[in-house]
Structure 1
């Protein structure tokens, strides 16, 4: 089996799981208070931020800092545990399939699930911005191009974080440890975006993207998305994490 067919097989497995439900529930929890408290967006906390930009960025800020990384962590554990149920991993390893290829297929499923959640977040923004606008009698909708650009950037620069969390889920076979360590890495994200070596800490990438866009919209010149040394560091960390994950995948079961 090649990588494409393995990925399709893994996608079919998720159809019988509750992963998609777990991706959508946090988004609903996020948007309900954003709509109810939409009037707070009329008083931006930073000079130069318009109410519509404030509503837009503040919503994505909560998503990028907590909901999105937490969802990825849960998905990595669920994808791993789906193979350990009824010793499914042993059956898969018994097939003429390289463990590393199977590991990459599962990672691609994780990337697809992350894309679905970001797409759902984007779609809900357009819906909720309309509802909130009617609620506060002010147009809180920003241009679609601005929303899609932020969503696309957020997804692309989250790939290293996905690789890191996938490596942790593969290497830490105990779900409690994997989830606990993953959630623990989210806490320093707010601090790390202000550190000089922030580009070496993938969990802060999504929040960094949103914060940089927020500062751009204010009168404060803030910071820019400096692609150097960000992209080389992100690429190297992604490759390293995936390499470790591929080497460790199924190692405990093969003993």
Structure 2
């Protein structure tokens, strides 16, 4: 069975799930307060950067720090439990296919959820910025050429983190434990971005990426910047290691029973 066929099967399995609602809910939760509190961006306390940039950064902060990681965690559990329910994983493994390839197909589906959610985030930003502009008569809308690259950088920075969460969901069969460990791993991100070894903690990559943009706009707030070294080697090593472990262990416990 080809990899594309596996992808098609995985997407069809989720047709009746509430995955789009799971992806949309965090976006709505974060951007609605941004509209209601948009006036704060015009106060002297927020004058470190322009109101329109502050509106974007503040809205993206919650997504980069907590909502995107939390959504990945929930989606990893959803993908694994879909197979484990009614022994579906055993039926899949009984077919003439490589378990590692099936594991990678599910991971690609997981990454597609990240694309969808970040596109929703960008769309919600423009809707919120337009609403705030109308309410306060101030142009909060930034050009697409600025918003999309930031959104893309946050997504790319989240890939190693997604690999870590996918490995946890593959290794830990109990959903409560998998979700609990994943959520607990998100919290230290705020502390890790201020250390010299931030690159060793992939859960902080999306938030660190956003904060470097904040620091570029206002150097006095966050002085660090994104450098290819040591970020790219560390991110690549984490991603490859976690995916290797996931592919080796995927379905292992079910086959051994």
For 2:26 and 2:47, the matched residues in 1 are separated by 30
| Paired position in structure 2 for 1:117 | 117
| Counterpart for residue 153 of structure 1 | 153
Indicate the residue corresponding to 2:224 in structure 1: 223
1:84 correspondence with 2:89: no
| CA displacement, residues 66-112 of structure 1 (integer Å, 9 cap, x when unaligned) | 11110000000000000011111110010001111100000000000
Q: Following the alignment from structure 1 to structure 2, what is the Cα–Cα distance between the partners of residues 223 and 47?
A: 20
TM-score, normalisation: structure 2: 0.97
1:97 aligns with 2:97: yes
**Which residue does 2:39 correspond to in 1?**
39
Structure 2: state its 5+ residue gaps.
none
Deviation track 1:187-227 (CA, whole Å, cap 9, x = no partner) reads 00000001111101010000001111011111537221111
Give 1:44 deviation, angstroms: 6.3
Whether 1:233 aligns to 2:234 is yes
8 Å contact kept, 1:200–1:233: yes
1:28 aligns with 2:59: no
Q: Who is 1:16 aligned against? A: 16
Q: Give the C-alpha shift of residue 137 in structure 1.
A: 1.6
Aligned to 2:210: 210
Distance across 1 between alignment mates of 2:67 and 2:247: 27
Shift of 1:169: 0.4
Q: CA deviation at 1:48?
A: 3.6
Query: For residue 5 of structure 1, what is the aligned residue in structure 2?
Result: 5
Superposition CA RMSD, Å: 1.2
Question: What residue is the counterpart of 1:59 in the other structure?
Answer: 59
What residue is the counterpart of 2:253 in the other structure?
252
Partner of 1:137: 137
Q: Distance in 1 between matches of 2:232 and 2:254?
A: 35
